[in-house]
Amino acid sequence: MLVRFTKMHGLGNDFLVLDTITQKVKVNSALVAKLADRNFGVGFDQMLIVEPPSDPDMDFRYRIFNADGSEVEHCGNGARCFAKFVRDKRLTAKETVAVETQKGPIYLTITEDRQVVVDMGQPVLEPQQIPFSADQQAATYPIDVAGQTIEISAVSMGNPHGVLVVDSIDTAPVESWGPELEAHPKFPAKANIGFMEIVNRNSIRLRVFERGAGETLACGTGACAAVVAGQLRGLLDPGVTVQLPGGALQIDWNGVGQPLVMTGPATTVYEGQIFL
């Protein structure tokens, strides 16, 4: 069958977006991995699926598959692209859309200057709920990697994240430590690993090794997790610009018990059709 898709990106974190409301498509892990291949397929970090909601109070259901075919709970850059997609395709005329995800509802707003504001919800810090192996909640935890013990923060933004502070992201061991920490026994569901450089109290630089995708040019939930980790450590103030390899996001968080708000762009690259 011939299926329509849209290629999009959020700061270089790229996606194939499928509308399964106006066309019938069955997605499985093997299909995702095949299409994600950058030599023989379309190529992308994640596939985003637009579905009808199961909750009548929601406008859409949002599903995310990594390039390896694994389904994940959340993707902040993808959420911004999702909002632009459903507006551009006239699936909704609302300025703010309510979207159902595996980990609960999120709310997406497109501003007059075409930026997308995402209410990312509250961070999860309790180790068992992240999940992370620790006896009690703390701002940082010791973890062994590459024969040494370092300090890492553990946060869930609907998906698990580990965040460590480095002197410079330019020399950070992302390629070697990223895969080891992603699959570390302390993260039983694996995790996205953020390498955070503090520029000042309202600005950081960040590289993220994503679970099931490898290092990407940008990670929205990773940016949120890094800001939470930095504020909990006393290194950051509310309102942080996160500079990722693909560009900048604005993350606002007023502390424990409050939701994070992410603001950033979403870009359509091209429309396509493919035989499945």
pLDDT tens profile 162-171? 999 999 999 9
What integer pLDDT is reported at residue 104 of this predicted model? 87
Looking at the fold, whether 136 and 250 belong to one and the same domain comes out as: yes
Q: Is 199 part of a structural domain of the chain?
A: yes
Range of the domain at 10: 2-111+266-275
Element (H, E) at 174: helix 174-182
DSSP 198-258: EEETTEEEEEEEETTTEEES--HHHHHHHHHHHHHTT---SSEEEEETTEEEEEE--STTS
Query: Which helix (H) or strand (E) segment is 151 a member of?
Result: strand 148-156
CA 180 to the chain's CA centroid: 20
Please indicate whether residue 219 is annotated as part of the active site. yes
Q: What is the end-to-end Cα distance of the chain in Å, rounded?
A: 5
What is the total count of domains within the chain? 2
Average pLDDT, the chain: 96
**Position 253 pLDDT exceeds 90:** yes
pLDDT of 101-131, one tens digit each? 988 899 999 988 889 999 999 999 999 999 9
- Is there a domain that residue 121 lies in? no
User: Is 224 labeled as catalytic in the residue annotation?
Assistant: no
Burial-class residue 164 by CB neighbours within 10 Å (0-12, 13-18, 19+).
buried
Q: For 36, list phi and psi in degrees, rounded to 5.
A: -75, -20
Q: Is the model's pLDDT at 80 over the cut of 90?
A: yes
Q: Is 17 found in the same domain as 99?
A: yes
pLDDT digits (tens, 9 = 90+) for 180-204: 999 999 999 999 999 999 999 999 9
Instruction: Give domain status of residue 145, yes or no.
Output: yes
CB 219 within 8 Å of CB 244: yes
For residues 7 and 49, membership in a common domain is answered with yes
Mean local confidence (pLDDT), 239-246: 97
| Mean predicted confidence (pLDDT) in 235-259 | 97
Q: Are residues 160 and 190 part of one domain?
A: yes
Q: Which of 75, 120, 172, 251 is catalytic?
A: 75
Annotated catalytic residue: which of 219, 227, 229, 260?
Answer: 219
244 shares its domain with 138: yes
Q: Confidence band (pLDDT; 50, 70, 90) for 210?
A: very high
Instruction: Identify residue 141 by its one-letter amino acid code.
Output: Y
> pTM of this prediction?
0.88
Residue 116 lies in a domain: no
Per-residue pLDDT, 73: 87
**10 shares its domain with 86:** yes
Average pLDDT, integer, range 262-271: 96
Quick check: is 184 in a domain?
yes
Are 12 and 58 contained in the same domain?
Answer: yes
